[in-house]
Amino acid sequence: MSNEKTFKALVVEETNDGEFKKSIHERKVSDLPENDLLIEVHYSSLNYKDAMSATGNKRITRNYPHTPGIDAAGVVVSDKSGTFSAGQEVLVFGYDLGMDTAGGLGQIISIPADWAIECPKSLTLKEAMIYGTGGLTAALSVQKLEKMGAKPEDGPVAVTGATGGVGSISIAILSQLGYEVIAFSGKPEQSDYLKNLGASEVRHRDTINEIGSKPIGRELWANAIDTLGGDYLANLLKQTKAGGAVTSCGLAGGAEFSMTVMPFITRAVSLLGVDSVLIPLEDKKAIWQRVSTDMKLPDLEGYAEEITLEQTPEYLDRFISSKVVGRYVVNVR
């Protein structure tokens, strides 16, 4: 492909007065970093982290102008490393994609070959992006609980940030695997949506914090998947049954939390970190194997809204104001 070839991409620019402006631009292949693997992107997806990058969060993206998009699914144009052949369908999640490397919200990306995996045969490129990083993180969270011995008969699993990307797919996967799920949401009006995903009960997220500053409380759930952090995470741990575990992947509700060690030393409750970004490629391949087999959700199209590249500026803003529900798959073509 010629270096002069142009393609469309979302570009975030920092203005002189410190604002961040999002618009669709024509870019050239020569604008991309020089790497082995060139991919024509067909689908991407939106995640909370893309919204942070698109609004100038310098912990995510240091240099602007920038094209966000931590997820990409597409077709190999060329690969100087010899790992992939032209025309092969591949997926990219995490590492530096969409952070300081131009991301999947552009029609072409240039990345190191060891960031990509082959798209599993049982998934289309679009289906893979319906999961995207949000779905992958949900699957990794469920897998972490399983590794600690979680079983459906242990009792309900609490899921926070329930209407979000990670939360909604977590509910669906847990329900498919036979778990009872208590969904915690700040959007009570989405109760029917959450029950359709598989939640047996929907509670307001503020009820988690009713325990206040008590060091430990009644045992209300066997395990939990937390996407919020902050007091929500502390108070989930305090109300988890003896021997249970809580996964932590996100900070939509705050990065810091304060609690005593009581749930750990009197109930042997475990706190499990989940990272989908920098884990080894082999672990990404392994979780995709499960996502495309026993964790594969029926009627995947129902879990995401498809949007165009042109709609991404508006939708990214909705993430920041918490006006999102479920997953958003971007048709980049």
Residues forming the site for ligand NDP (CB under 6 A): 47-49, 133-134, 137, 161-167, 185-187, 205, 227-228, 249-253, 274-277, 319, 322, 324
CB of 2 to ligand NDP, least distance (A): 35
- Decide whether 59 or 218 has the Cβ nearer to ligand NDP: 59
- Hey, which bits of 15-70 come out as E strands? 20-28, 37-46
- Decide whether 48 or 95 has the Cβ nearer to ligand NDP: 48
CB of 114 to ligand NDP, least distance (A): 18
CB of 258 to ligand NDP, least distance (A): 17
CB of 206 to ligand NDP, least distance (A): 9
- Decide whether 153 or 189 has the Cβ nearer to ligand NDP: 189
Spatial contact of 233 and 246, defined as CB atoms under 8 Å apart:
yes
- Decide whether 48 or 115 has the Cβ nearer to ligand NDP: 48
Edge-to-edge strand ranges of the sheet holding 270-273: 201-204, 181-185, 157-159, 223-226, 245-248, 270-273
CB of 59 to ligand NDP, least distance (A): 11
- Decide whether 110 or 276 has the Cβ nearer to ligand NDP: 276
- Decide whether 32 or 134 has the Cβ nearer to ligand NDP: 134
Point out the residue whose Cβ comes nearest to ligand NDP. Answer: 164
Backbone angles phi and psi of 161, in degrees to 5: 60, 40
CB of 33 to ligand NDP, least distance (A): 23
Structure tokens at 325: 């529900």
Spatial contact of 241 and 155, defined as CB atoms under 8 Å apart:
yes
CB of 278 to ligand NDP, least distance (A): 8
Spatial contact of 264 and 240, defined as CB atoms under 8 Å apart:
no
CB contact set of 325 (below 8 Å; sequence gap of 6+): 163, 168, 187, 190, 193
- Decide whether 120 or 250 has the Cβ nearer to ligand NDP: 250
Look at the chain and count its residues.
333
Give one DSSP letter per residue of 173-209, joined into a string: HHHHTT--EEEEES-GGGHHHHHHHT-SEEEEGGGGG
According to DSSP H, which parts of the chain are helical? 48-54, 125-147, 165-176, 191-197, 230-238, 262-267, 281-291, 312-320
What type of residue sits at position 221? Answer: W
